[in-house]
Structure 1
Amino acid sequence: MHVYAIHAGAGPAAIFARAAGLRNLDPVIAMTPITSLDLTGFTEREPGVWTDEAGLVLSVHFFPLIPDLPAPLHEPQRLGAGLTQLVAGAGGGLIEAVPGSVDGVPAVRQLVKMPLGSRPGQAFLGSWTVPRAGSSTVVKVQAAEGATTGMREAVIMAQVGPAEYFRPHPYADGQPGGLPYHVGDHEQWDPRFPDHPLTLVRAALHRITPTITFDDRFKALPPFGGPGTPQSLPHLPPPRRGWFRRRKDA
């Protein structure tokens, strides 16, 4: 599988940044409040960006502005609906948006698929967006299909049939546009397609998440209250490169 290099402000990366609530922001790569992250199997390519032999791209980002998520985390249906429309409007598809936590801090996990503009196939992007009142941290894993595309979808559709393959989107009425929602992206099929980029992205995000820890100053910030909510913005010292370090056992 080829590495799918995504650069801030261009193509699927910019779309994904908007879907993560990070519209019109330039990420400060590596200068994040992440203090620990298991990088086993990854090689650093530039500050805050790593790749592995399977073609995964792992990156970390800190955004020192109010997150642009469409709803607060405690309103998952409204949050999912807003993210679905945003991604669909850009031609992609939201596979899932699940509230959870990272190192005890409320967050939202997203899986997004986007068409590759330069050739047939799709890119798959998984992330945790960890919003606070006046900033957010994002951990992102991404990979793209190689020369062979659509095999997973074709095999699963042949097994379940077209009527059972395409489903109404769980966060929107019917199909909101963009790439269609279907059962072929469900996690239950991952063991059958261990080398598929969606399988790899999902597995890497599951593995990495428990190893992420944050600087206590970031964890102590007021929570994100949602769009249009007055945010209390206490002084936060500018991020330092020293905030990020490789796990000693990596």
Structure 2
Amino acid sequence: MNRNIDLVKFSGDGWTFKEEDSGIKVWFNSSGDIASLNLGDIASLNFFDIVPDLPSAVKQENITFFRNLYRHIVSTVNGGIVSVEIIDIKNIPSVEVILKIPQNPTGMSYIGSVTLPFKDFSFVMKYECPEHGMTGIRDTLIAVKIGDELEHTPNGIPIGWMKDPYDSEYDSNARYNLSAQEKYDELFPEHPLTRVRNYLRNLSSNLMIHPDLINYPKFGEIKKPSTLPKITFSSLLSSLRNLLSNS
């Protein structure tokens, strides 16, 4: 089998193909209140012809290791995780991630990615959805809506508004807040988090996988680590480059 990016095909309504370069294909999708393609959402299909840089086999029993890894990686750019889940894409065990990263000067960008890892290479489908126009509306309106339901500190700060989506041990550094709950997406259909969730929800039907990949060995079983995998400076840079390239 000739390993290359063309083993996976992406198509979807509203996406305009932009360019291909060095194992990356890029599409644009005008979104929200912006009518310019170069300010809309971005989709990219990335091919990495190296052994996947993952902490363990892609199984539900190992989900904590994946959440810890992405939590640590995104914290280096002052961001946070919204979700990290093990999913199935056309019978390929995959890792689906949504990250929240601060924009300059204001607002947040949401990056959704799905990694399809094989024994010695991987594909990553990534969506980048920026917040534009008046930012923070979703957070503000939901905070007002549920504010009376939360306990508050003596200084009036709501308790439990900011939290890690999976582990309270990481609440103090979390970027996630209660307005990010999926049940609020229908109230904010143009919000970047809603958009990225919709893209990921439809991804399986928008991908065509070459038959040779279906039976190709998946990312192999490795010994389950007993602690958080050591993240070296070089591996951290590699992971950030893979996940946030072209962001």
Which residue of structure 2 aligns with residue 175 of structure 1?
171
Aligned counterpart in structure 2 of residue 153 of structure 1, from 130, 139, 146: 139
Which residue of structure 2 aligns with residue 192 of structure 1?
187
The within-5 A match list for 1:88-237 is 88-116=75-103, 118-161=104-147, 162-171=158-167, 173-175=169-171, 177=173, 179-225=174-220
Shift of 1:88: 1.8
1:60 matched to 2:45? The reply is: yes
One-letter amino acid of the structure 1 residue matched with residue 8 of structure 2: I
One-letter amino acid of the structure 2 residue matched with residue 115 of structure 1: P
Shift of 1:86: 1.7
Q: Which structure carries more relative contact order (alpha carbon 8 Å, separation 6+)?
A: 1
Q: Report the identity percentage.
A: 25
**Cα pair 1:80 1:171 within 8 Å, conserved:** no
What is the number of residues matched between the two proteins? Answer: 197
Q: 1 CA distance for matches of 2:188 and 2:169?
A: 29
Is there any run of 5+ residues in structure 1 with no aligned partner, and where? 1-29, 230-250
Q: Deviations over 1:167-198 (max 9, x none)?
A: 34404623262x52222111111110111111
Shift of 1:226: 6.1
The within-5 A match list for 1:14-33 is 31-33=5-7
The structure in which a higher percent of residues are helix is 2
Q: 2 CA distance for matches of 1:57 and 1:228?
A: 36
Which residue of structure 2 aligns with residue 40 of structure 1?
13
Aligned counterpart in structure 2 of residue 87 of structure 1, from 48, 53, 74: 74
Q: 1 CA distance for matches of 2:172 and 2:71?
A: 7
Q: 1 CA distance for matches of 2:172 and 2:73?
A: 10
Specify the SS of the correspondent of 1:39: coil
Greater gyration radius: 2
TM-score of the superposed pair, with normalisation by structure 1? 0.72
Shift of 1:104: 1.1
Q: 2 CA distance for matches of 1:87 and 1:144?
A: 16
Q: 2 CA distance for matches of 1:226 and 1:84?
A: 23
TM-score of the superposed pair, with normalisation by structure 2? 0.73
The verdict on how the C-alpha distance between 1:175 and 1:226 changes in structure 2, with shifts beyond 3 A counting, is farther
**Cα pair 2:15 2:29 within 8 Å, conserved:** yes
Q: 2 CA distance for matches of 1:40 and 1:186?
A: 26
Q: 2 CA distance for matches of 1:57 and 1:226?
A: 33
Q: 1 CA distance for matches of 2:55 and 2:101?
A: 20
Q: 1 CA distance for matches of 2:167 and 2:85?
A: 11
**Cα pair 2:83 2:165 within 8 Å, conserved:** no
Is there any run of 5+ residues in structure 2 with no aligned partner, and where? 32-39, 148-157, 225-247
Which residue of structure 1 aligns with residue 54 of structure 2?
69
Q: 1 CA distance for matches of 2:55 and 2:78?
A: 18
**Cα pair 2:163 2:172 within 8 Å, conserved:** no
Specify the SS of the correspondent of 1:159: helix
